[in-house]
Structure 1
Amino acid sequence: MSTDEADARREDLMSALEVIEEQPLAERANAYAGLHDHLARRLESGPRDLTPGS
C-alpha cells in the first residue's frame, strides 16, 4: 500500500469516527460495533503470514 493510500484510509477512518462521535450514545454504540465488524473483516482478509523472510 502506498503512503497516499494509507493516508486516505486514515482520513476515512477519522471521518467515520467524527460522524460516530456526533451521534447519541445508543446509536454511537451500534455504530462503533459496525465499524469494529468492518475493520475485523478487513483485517481477516489480509495476508496471513507476515514473518520476515517468508
Structure 2
Amino acid sequence: MTDGEFAPEPDEALLSRLALIDERPLESRAAAYRQLHDELRQQLEAADGDSARPA
C-alpha cells in the first residue's frame, strides 16, 4: 500500500456476524453466507444507484 492509498477500517458488525456464521454447524453455514452475500450485494447495488444519480 502506498501513502496515498486508503485502508478502510474493519466493519466490526460484519466481522461479528461472520464469526457467528463460522460457529454454526457446517450444514447451515452455506445458507447463512448466501443470505449475507445477498444483503451485501443489495447494499452495493443501492450505493451504485445512488452514485449514478445526478446531483
TM-score, length-scaled by structure 2? 0.68
How much does 1:10 deviate? 0.3
Mark the runs of 5 or more structure 2 residues left unpaired by the alignment.
1-7
Confirm whether residue 20 of structure 1 aligns to residue 21 of structure 2. Answer: yes
How much does 1:26 deviate? 1.4
Tell me the residue number matched to 2:44.
Answer: 43
> Sequence identity of aligned pairs in percent?
41
Count, aligned residues: 44
Mark the runs of 5 or more structure 1 residues left unpaired by the alignment.
1-5
Let me know the Cα RMSD of the aligned residues. Answer: 2.1
Runs of 4+ in 1 over 4 A off after TM superposition: none
